[in-house]
Structure 1
Amino acid sequence: MDQVESNAQPTADIADGVRQSAVLWDDRNMVTHFANVVNIQSTLEQVDLFFGTNKTWNIGNERQVHVELTDRVILSPHAAKRLSVALAGVLKEYESRHGALKIDGR
């Protein structure tokens, strides 16, 4: 078994005196992508998140916006719900520090 780099940190919780399984966050194969556009669709079995970048800088007469989709993440509905709760918590904390985020001029 390969040795995990030092930046991978195991975490474990103790609840009611019972030690939970440790999670090892292995980031050796992680890649980072930037997205300023997200689109979401779902079926009974999955939730699809499409990420991309709006590269339009001058709309012109054609009035078209070019979005380059680069990544798709497919989640189970349960994982999507957990992501929704986690994002809501992160955004609540962000707004408490930096002020409310306005979306689409609202």
Structure 2
Amino acid sequence: MYYPIDLTVADKLKIKISIADRVYPLTIDPSREEGLRKAAKSIEAMIKQLEQSYAVRDKQDLLAMCALQFAAKSEQLVIDDSADVEQAKEQLNVLNLLLDKQLS
């Protein structure tokens, strides 16, 4: 009997990421490793900054504040991109009108 090898499982990488004094074992695609490690470093740096700036010592509170800042940054990027797209559409409409005028 033939059993095909599941390449998706065989191609996975097992790593450990440390965040807020806890280790999280992950099984990931190798292409995601660098991004995950950079994200963990960013979280650790933000936690350290928050600890120094505020009198918060509870890791749960620090992680919540960290999550809020990252989510806000992500949402702001979406808002900014949306505004840029709208501006580009308006400029394309103006150019289209000018071209129509010239071609008529």
Determine which structure has more spread, i.e. the larger CA radius of gyration.
2
TM-score (norm 2): 0.28
TM-score (norm 1): 0.28
More helix by share: 2
